[in-house]
Amino acid sequence: MRITEAQMVSGWGNNFHSLSTRVVVTTHGEAEEIVSMATSNRGLLPIGALRSYGDSALNSGGTLIDVTALKFLTIDSDTAIATVGAGVTISELEHAALVHSLFPPVVPGTGYVTMGGAIAADIHGKSHHKTGSFSQSVLQMTLLLANGHQVTYTPSDPEFWATVGGLGLTGIVIELHIQLRSVQSNSVEVTEHRVANLAAMLDLLGRSDKDYEHTVAWIDLSGDYRGRGVVSLGNYGTKSVKEKSVTGGLSLPDIGGKNLINRSTVKVFNEIWFRKPLKSGPVALTKYMHPLDGIQKWNRIYGAPGFLQYQFVIDEGREEIFESLFTGLRGLKASSFLGVLKKFGAATQAPLSFPRPGWTLTLDYSVTVPGLEKFLQEFDEELVAAGGRVYLIKDSRVSPALIPAMYPELEKWRAIRSSMDPQRLWQSDQARRLQLC
Ligand SMILES: Cc1cc2nc3c(=O)[nH]c(=O)nc-3n(C[C@H](O)[C@H](O)[C@H](O)COP(=O)(O)OP(=O)(O)OC[C@H]3O[C@@H](n4cnc5c(N)ncnc54)[C@H](O)[C@@H]3O)c2cc1C
């Protein structure tokens, strides 16, 4: 076990900096020891790779239990079940699974996410309309509870679903059993289409659900906000391709805390992206799933003030909300470096899981954009009135008053959570900010 003196920790957005003690545990036994010694004053919080954007993985004045060293990983190729430690990353699982012609059914946009972080957020990928979210491939989980005991839960237990999307506030995920799917090769057969506006994008994404396992659109959220972009459609391929490692490559240098993102740089980037040659054919699975992983520390591009990622979901039939969002952002002269639009399928029974049927849009903005915070506060209200909600693992700013409307099963989650942790040992900055517990 390694215990550091209080140190500054930030999420991926670098917009919050929090001072806490960090304990790196290397075995289950060490995790049990630290839990048994803990007091609930500012409490404990398990953390993974700190790829959550806001304050979900921060615990100012408290203790962070870093479980990234819990790396055990075995795969039974007969049953296609992987047994993984909480610190195993999505990328590590993908590479181990591909050796057996298997693959995790749900992977996010970066391979650096750990198994613990994947459960705590109930992550989704480009295939949500077919495979649902991460928890739907989990057969069982072992959790270290606040009372120091390890318990194994399955999807028939309410504690399982309270932990799914539960933001690390029910206990430490120690181990998962994950049902993998078979693949014929290490590739995805990809087709890309350029679309001129949002209506064309929604139409193509909506029509492609049936025939494609992976659907996602990059949307240009700069300039006049017409919603032009590139729609990418893919199915698991049959031809294996030479795989260039996407992780551990280029690293964005420290640029002295300067923000390189402004209207002009974003406009140029979006123009290049829109005009780039369209892909057609097999692409390595890992490259297709994690396009940004080729550049380490790309979050430094926003400089010292950091950035926020705003992701929401809205029902089909409520598309008018996009126009309202685009008009407001155009008025602020705000440009998003990254805009991603996807369609979700059915929800799980987890009270705090984010995905549910409808459209989900993701935007990145520097926190320095004048008027952005006020505009997003007004937009949140409009979103809630239209029945939508924001993704909590990416949030750093939503008002606590809106959470019960966004997550109507919050009370159910609170009751299960309290029964698992009556002394409120598990705490985070986000839980305090949003009054979750
Ligand atoms: C470039 C990029 C792309 C992304 N793409 C997607 C995407 O496509 N889809 C998507 O859904 N998300 C996406 N995300 C968000 C990311 O998947 C989540 O934030 C995820 O939770 C990060 O996992 P982590 O290991 O970094 O956990 P951390 O950020 O360290 O922690 C996140 C939460 O998990 C909890 N936690 C961590 N480990 C454990 C554990 N062992 N037991 C219990 N709780 C634990 C923490 O307490 C915290 O609440 C993306 C993030 C980035 C940076």
Q: What is the pLDDT of residues 162-194, one digit of tens each?
A: 999 999 999 999 999 999 999 999 999 999 999
> What's the per-residue H, E or C state across 287-323?
HHHCHHHHEECHHHHHCCCCEEEEEEEECCCCCHHHH
> In angstroms, what is the span from residue 311 Cα to ligand 1's centroid?
14
26 assigned to some structural domain: no
How far is the C-alpha of 247 from the C-alpha of 49, rounded, in Å?
Answer: 14
Closest ligand 1 atom, residue 51 Cα: 26
Q: Supply the pTM of this predicted model.
A: 0.95
Q: Would you say 45 and 62 are in contact if contact means Cβ atoms under 8 Å apart?
A: yes
174 assigned to some structural domain: no
pLDDT of residue 4: 82
> In angstroms, what is the span from residue 195 Cα to ligand 1's centroid?
31
Cβ of residue 51 lying under 6 Å from some atom of ligand 1: yes
Q: What is the pLDDT of residues 104-150, one digit of tens each?
A: 999 999 999 999 999 999 999 999 999 999 999 999 999 999 999 99
**Number of domains within the chain:** 1
416 assigned to some structural domain: no
Please say whether the dihedral angle defined by the alpha carbons of residues 314, 434, 133 and 220, taken in this order, is positive or negative.
positive
426 assigned to some structural domain: no
Judged against a pLDDT cut of 90, whether residue 205 lies above it is answered with yes
Judged against a pLDDT cut of 90, whether residue 292 lies above it is answered with no
Could you tell which of 170, 393, 432 is best to mutate to test the pocket of ligand 1, judged by most ligand atoms within 8 Å of the CB?
Answer: 393
146 assigned to some structural domain: no
Judged against a pLDDT cut of 90, whether residue 346 lies above it is answered with yes
Cβ of residue 46 lying under 6 Å from some atom of ligand 1: yes
Q: What is the pLDDT of residues 402-437, one digit of tens each?
A: 999 999 999 999 999 999 999 999 999 999 999 999
Cβ of residue 290 lying under 6 Å from some atom of ligand 1: no
31 assigned to some structural domain: no
> In angstroms, what is the span from residue 51 Cα to ligand 1's centroid?
5
79 assigned to some structural domain: no
Cβ of residue 393 lying under 6 Å from some atom of ligand 1: yes
164 assigned to some structural domain: no
Give me the percent of the chain exceeding a pLDDT of 90: 82
- What is the extent of the structural domain holding 345? 187-405
What is the CATH classification number for the domain harbouring 343? 3.40.462
Please report which confidence band the pLDDT of residue 248 belongs to, taking 50, 70 and 90 as the band edges: low
Residue 131 phi/psi, 5-degree rounding, is: -110, -5
